[in-house]
Structure 1
Amino acid sequence: MRVVRVAIVTESFLPTLNGVTTSVCRVLDHLADTGHEAMVVCPGPAPAAYRGFPVRTVRGVTVRGFRVGVPTFELERILADYAPQVVHAASPFGHGARGLAAARNLGLPSVAVYQTDMPTYLAQHGGPISGGVERATWRWLRHLHSLADITLAPSSTTLQELNDHGIPRTALWGRGVDTVTYHPDRRFEEEVADLRRCVAPHGETVLGYVGRLAPEKEIHRLAEVADLPHTSIVIVGDGPSRDRLERLLPKAHFLGFREGLPLAQAYAALDLFVHTGCHETFGQTLQEAMAAGLPVVAPAAGGPLDIVKPGVTGLLFDPERDGALRQAVGSLAADESMRTRMGASGRRKVEQRSWASVVDQLLDFYADAINPAYARRVA
């Protein structure tokens, strides 16, 4: 494969850990493993390098716990000096939008990866003007994505939503999952057995959630299953909603933020994974849970529609119907054989979704941006 030189302009990077950072790091890992060239441009502070690739920082500010890059013309100079073949904008909004504009000004091809549902997120914090905030956000997204040669959506639902809002030149690009770190065999590790003894001392069925504890994740829905007989709830993650959730779910076990092996062991300690948010563009934790051999329950909305096959790898519930989540979780909690069957099916499904194969698809999109079909010579 021909070597590609890419500049990744990302709204989030290390040491901040979230879905955007994780995706960018996995892309960089595969680029490094396959001999490509890359540079990262992100809000500071950040490490000076990652996997041998330089990391350039721009000025950033902290907003609601997130590090946000300040859009400046410095980004144009950084890209001009590096001279990439293609600019990859990861979840662009502010800093990333400036990256797309700089790429357009410099005549550089660009690929934008849509990952965060910013219209819904901002609307949830807009109070009485939430509708206006959402409309204004979509107007901004249409503008910034019009600067990209290709915009990649992580799920078919999100792809349709982008098309409905007039985002041009879209395509579907999913996410990979680490099937080595997240593996059913971890359930037999001593650390996992110790954790289960702590959270399920009487052999309870362990229901788990993993992710950021924030209003948009709708974790309050777990109150619907808090009194299911012979079950125990485990919540992995941290965020601004933690105090409120601890009051709402006083019997739940809050394990805090985990990553790497400790996170994989937390998944392995569960019997059933419960996803609560209705506005996910994808649902990476669902894939991680399935890689760990867990059946999953998720809303019949957004990204989970592409990931969960009802009755095979888990169950989807109607988020608009009272009691639907309890019914779905209750049926799985009461049936160990069904959990085992669905967990095995989920594991088989995600084994085909390695990050290597997913990033190879991304390289094809880079090639399409660099050499678009209309510019190719007919042999």
Structure 2
Amino acid sequence: MRVLIATDAWRPQINGVVRSLERMFEAAPDFGVTAQMLTPEGFRQVGLPSYPDIRIALASQQQVARRIAEFGPDHIHIATEGPIGWLTRAVCLAQKRTFTTSYHTRFPQYVAARWPIPESWSYRFLRRFHAPAAGVMVSTATVEAELRDHGFEHILRWGRGVDLSLFHPRAASVLDLPRPIFLSVGRVAVEKNLEAFLSLRLPGSKVVVGDGPALADLKRAFPEAHFLGAREGEELAAIYASSDVFVFPSLTDTFGIVLLEAAASGLPVAAFPVQGPSDVFAGGNAAVLHEDLRQAALSALRLSREAGPELAARHSWQSSAEQFYGHIRRAAQEAAARPAPVQNVTAFASARGAEASGRARSPA
């Protein structure tokens, strides 16, 4: 089976969407799938307003249709609602192709945090995008309920995972800072609510790993914090394991893969009791969720570092890929089982007769 995954989020971006899609692409052969990515690579690009480091494609529908035809997919999955997503959607509708989509980001809340645009308008826009899909993949029960409340249909569950071979407790520390060390990892942008973390009165040190449009402003506003920039792989895993508490101040994330990475590293988590943290840590002892983030952070210091790895072990990328490709295969099979549209023979014959009569009456 050949599957095309269309996404506006791709390298060099570093975020949960890119990480999830990379994992699905890598796992494709395990499920008998030949996957190909359709990304902004190879198209003319421009920086996203207010996110100049995020490049979006300036492509045409014809260019996207050509890329799709060259690969010849059996199924198309559209992962994002940006230009690549909309153009791929347009091609699928024009060619009557079945496709699935996924919902990764709470854009209505992100947009409302930056501009005076009602969330209802954004949900209407997103609902229109996802409505023709055979299925809309979401990460948690909370996101599913939220979208159903806003009129979305055909919702499918697609969980996320963590690389346990990379993220795990370590004996040595790579951070030579006053303890306790409170860490936050993610995109440094206004919607991540990092100011709520950096403004807390906490002992020890605050460390932020990540890059983004708010980085310069936050550095000026909180000179006592340690901003390490974007880190990946072994370097990132060592920073997690060297910290004492992971603080997740976001109010809008649909999941937060960084939560699983922190837990797998043996790092207790402090967060607000909102979707994302509430879904990941439901019924566990690896996090403290509280409306008072300072209280949550201080209380998390008393948690056992053993609970996180136990929780993270239940979330593998293999099971995530099994869900992802399972949904895709079922959508493709259901599409193949549907009878091809049959033309109305009577109407067709009448139209042909009228056309012939018109020709007969036409002057020579």
Assess same fold via TM > 0.5: yes
| Distance in 2 between residues matched to 1:298 and 1:275, nearest whole Å | 5
The one-letter code sitting in structure 1 at the alignment partner of 2:57 is G
Question: What TM-score comes out, normalization by structure 2 length?
Answer: 0.86
Q: 1:52 corresponds to which residue?
A: none
| Residue from 233, 236, 243 that aligns with 2:216 | 243
- Give the aligned residue type for 1:174: G
Alignment map for 1:47-58 (pairs within 5 Å):
57-58=42-43
Counterparts of 1:162 and 1:238, CA distance in 2: 29
Q: Normalising to structure 1: TM-score of the pair?
A: 0.83
Other-structure match for 2:281? 308
Q: 1:224, CA displacement in angstroms?
A: 4.4
The alpha carbon displacement at 1:107 in A equals: 2.7
Query: Percent identity, aligned pairs only?
Result: 34
Q: How does 1:252-291 map to 2 (within 5 A)?
A: 252-291=225-264
Q: CA deviation at 1:78?
A: 2.0
Q: 1:62 to 1:109 in 2, by over 3 A?
A: same
Structure 2 contact 281–287 (Cα < 8 Å) conserved: yes
Deviations 1:326-361 (A, max 9, x none): 11112233x3xxx22xx3122112112111111011
Counterpart of 2:295, as a letter, is Q
State the distance in 1 between where 2:164 and 2:226 align: 26
8 Å contact from structure 2 (residues 160, 320) kept in 1: yes
Q: Deviations over 1:158-186 (max 9, x none)?
A: 111211111221122111111111011xx
Deviations 1:279-330 (A, max 9, x none): 0011111010011111111111122211023661111122xxxxx1111112
Counterpart for residue 64 of structure 2? 75
Structure 1: any 5+ residue segments left out of the alignment? 45-56, 319-323
Instruction: Indicate the larger mover: 288-297 or 100-109.
Output: 100-109
Q: Comparing 248-257 with 356-365, which one deviates more in the overlay?
A: 248-257
> Residue deviations 1:214-238, cap 9 Å, x none?
100000111443x323x22111112
After the TM superposition, which residues 1-379 of structure 1 pair with which residues of structure 2 at under 5 Å, given as runs? 4-44=1-41, 57-63=42-48, 64-65=51-52, 66-70=54-58, 72-73=60-61, 74-126=63-115, 129-131=116-118, 134-184=119-169, 187-189=170-172, 193=173, 195-196=174-175, 198-200=176-178, 204-225=179-200, 227-229=201-203, 231-309=204-282, 312-318=285-291, 324-333=292-301, 335=302, 339-340=303-304, 343-372=305-334, 375=337
Structure number with bigger Rg: 2
Verify the 8 A CA contact 2:100 2:135 in the aligned structure 1: yes
Contact 2:159 2:323 in 1 (8 A): no
How far apart are the structure 2 equivalents of 1:329 and 1:223? 12
Deviations 1:61-104 (A, max 9, x none): 21122111235212123223322111011122332122122123
Confirm or deny: 8 A CA contact 2:16 2:256 kept in the other structure. no
What stretches of structure 1 move > 3 A for 4+ residues in a row? 32-35, 373-377
Is the 8 Å Cα contact of residues 93 and 141 (structure 1) preserved in structure 2?
Answer: no
In 2, Cα distance between the equivalents of 1:219 and 1:249? 11
CA contact 1:216–1:277 (8 Å) conserved in 2: yes
The number of residue pairs the alignment matches comes to: 335
Could you say what secondary structure the match of 2:4 adopts? strand
* Aligned partners of 1:290 and 1:296 also within 8 Å: yes
Deviation at 1:152, TM superposition (A): 0.6
